[in-house]
């Protein structure tokens, strides 16, 4: 009984945090600065907090209608996550236009590759083309987002990009994608039935909570001033030597 109460309360905690993120962005005037984040969180709230519960209320959680609607909206969320990562890459390459042009080509190639890999199922499963393609496309795109998000974090560290807010947003996304990857691994590699279902019901929402908490901290946290380092040129250094 306590487990059922916990699993029912957990989603409401996610909805509250999503509302807090949107409220903070509105009160602090960060809509223009974080458009991608605003749209993603708003889509997450509408899909997961409004649309899916409405379908469950009308058709039931075990209905085919909800199953189809769930995976269709999962594709929407996966596409939103991919586009948000693209926006994060654009922000990281804000002062490096040539790097952004190369990165943009890589992102397009990754998306085309995900579509191609998912389309391979069309030659294997003729009876469930629509449902299987959507499920595989969504899961493959989430895995691609995990890899891209990790590469983005490494790039931020290697290039020493002075953007603490971006680093925290990327870390929050990493927590979310790590949960998705762990759930898929448990389902595909574990033969037990009850354990994966329990962890799938708990691990995914817990990682979403972690992501939202990190994003709230990133929005609330005041940006630290970057110290200005005076770099002496050769002439200035030579003048100091002469004066000494």
Domain boundaries along the sequence of the chain? 2-224
Q: Considering the chain, what percentage of its residues have pLDDT values greater than 90?
A: 39
User: What is the phi/psi pair of residue 79, to 5°?
Assistant: -65, -40
* DSSP string covering 179-206: HHHHHHHHHHH---SHHHHHHHHHHHHH
What pLDDT is stored for residue 127 in this prediction?
59
| pLDDT (tens digit per residue) in 163-221 | 889 999 999 999 988 876 666 666 666 554 555 555 666 777 888 899 999 999 999 88
Are the C-beta atoms of residues 133 and 122 closer than 8 Å to each other? yes
Query: What pTM, to 2 d.p., does this model score?
Result: 0.82
Q: Locate tokens 């929050």: which residue?
A: 172
Retrieve residue 64's tokens. Answer: 């085919």
Are 44 and 18 a contacting pair, CB within 8 Å?
yes
Full pLDDT tens readout for the chain, 244 residues: 445 555 667 788 889 999 999 999 988 887 778 999 999 999 999 998 899 989 998 998 888 888 889 889 999 999 999 999 999 999 999 888 899 999 999 999 999 999 988 887 666 655 566 667 788 888 889 889 999 999 999 999 888 888 889 999 999 999 988 876 666 666 666 554 555 555 666 777 888 899 999 999 999 886 554 444 433 343 333 334 334 4
Q: What CATH number should be reported for the domain whose range is 2-224?
A: 1.20.1070
Please report the pLDDT score of residue 126 as a whole number.
55
pLDDT (0 to 100) of residue 242: 38
Question: Of 128, 189, 178, 185, which is closest to residue 153 (Cα–Cα)?
Answer: 178
Question: Which pLDDT does position 227 carry in this prediction?
Answer: 43
What average pLDDT is seen over the chain? Answer: 80
- Dihedral sign for Cα atoms in the order 126, 129, 132, 138: positive
Give residues with Cβ within 8 angstroms of 91, minimum separation 6.
Answer: 163, 166
Going by C-alpha positions, the residue among 219, 166, 179, 167 that lies closest to residue 18 is 219
């Amino acid at each position: 009984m306590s487990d059922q109460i916990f699993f029912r309360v957990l989603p409401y905690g996610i909805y509250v945090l999503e509302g807090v993120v949107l409220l903070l962005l509105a009160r602090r005037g960060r809509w223009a600065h974080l458009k991608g984040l605003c749209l993603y969180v708003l889509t997450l709230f509408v899909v997961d907090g409004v649309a899916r519960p409405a379908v469950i209320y009308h058709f039931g959680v075990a209905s085919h209608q909800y199953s189809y609607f769930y995976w269709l909206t999962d594709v929407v969320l996966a596409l939103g996550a991919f586009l948000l990562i693209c926006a994060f890459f654009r922000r990281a390459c804000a002062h490096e236009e040539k790097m952004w042009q190369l990165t943009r080509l890589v992102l397009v190639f990754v998306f085309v590759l995900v579509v191609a890999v998912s389309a391979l199922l069309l030659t294997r499963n003729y009876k469930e083309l629509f449902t299987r393609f959507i499920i595989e496309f969504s899961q493959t795109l989430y895995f691609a987002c995990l890899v891209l998000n990790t590469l983005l974090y490494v790039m931020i560290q290697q290039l020493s990009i002075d953007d603490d807010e971006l680093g925290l947003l990327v870390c929050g996304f990493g927590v979310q994608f790590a949960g998705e990857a762990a759930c898929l691994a448990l389902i595909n590699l574990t033969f037990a039935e009850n354990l994966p279902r329990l962890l799938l019901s708990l691990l995914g929402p817990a990682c979403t909570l972690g992501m939202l908490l990190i994003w709230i901290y990133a929005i609330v946290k005041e940006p630290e001033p970057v110290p200005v380092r005076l770099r002496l040129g050769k002439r200035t250094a030579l003048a100091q030597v002469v004066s000494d």
